[in-house]
Amino acid sequence: MHGGTQTGTTEHAPVAGANGSGDPSGAARARRLARRGPALPSGRAVVGGLLVATSMVAVFVAASGATRGPSGRAVVAARPMPIGHRIEADDVRLESVEVPAPSASRLFTSPGSLVGAVTTAPLDADDLIDRSAVVEPGADPSGGHEFSFPLERERAVNGHLQPGETIDLLATYGTGETAHTDVVARHVRLLDIEDASKATIGSTGKVVVTLALDSDDDVVRAAHATEVAAIVLVRSEP
């Protein structure tokens, strides 16, 4: 109708693509995707991958450590043994152990090498046998000379020393400011310690100690010191 307003719907023409059609061509879409570059993984995906890798490494380390086991071998006591016991073949056995290198050199790796040895310290079952705890076959367990003398209990670790322990023998000569102390014998074996009151009537507060001295010179020095000096015994090994 002329002069009036035309009503109704308005149709929109489709936008032409690169080829003149209504849809973009496959080639144009491919070019746009190529310009974007490859997609990168998200931060959450990266963290998840690291956690999985870490857990796999931890499982491998734990499994390999559990299956490796002790790498060393050492002789242990098969049963309790007192001081002075002569070791027989069934008294010891070989066990797999893990010990630091400095300690390994003090242990035995062959049970046969201990047969005939004499214990100088008490051993419990399953104890590692240290070289200081035995006198090996062929060695003199007494150290060559046995030397005994009485001593005040408080000067012998209050009488708490045990046979088989290693001690130092110290002597203090003189009195007052001019007094001096010398080491008479170092690292000697204590063979016996006995309450002196067993040989007398009543308590004397003394003990009788018996030491294993290696040389004639040690014996001479010890004999002189016990006559003219104040003697003290010091435990040199725990």
- Reported as a single tens digit per residue, the pLDDT across 99-115 is 787 778 889 999 999 99
pLDDT of residue 230: 96
CB 133 within 8 A of CB 92: no
- Element spanning 195, H or E: strand 180-195
Q: Name the burial class of residue 75, with classes exposed (0-12), middle (13-18) and buried (19+) by CB atoms within 10 angstroms of its CB.
A: buried
DSSP state of 141: T
CB 200 within 8 A of CB 185: no
For the chain, how far is it from start to end, CA to CA, in angstroms? 125
User: What mean pLDDT, rounded, does the chain reach?
Assistant: 76
Strands in 206-213's sheet, in edge-to-edge order, are 145-152, 206-213, 180-195, 166-173, 230-235
What are the pLDDT digits (tens) for 185-233?
999 988 888 887 665 555 568 999 999 898 888 999 999 999 999 999 9
pLDDT of residue 75: 93
Return the closest-CA partner of residue 81 out of 42, 30, 115, 45. 115
What are the pLDDT digits (tens) for 108-150?
999 999 998 888 778 999 999 988 788 777 665 555 788 999 9
Sign of CA dihedral 61, 62, 63, 67: positive
Backbone angles phi, psi at 70, to 5 degrees: -60, 145
Q: CB neighbours (10 Å) of residue 116? A: 14
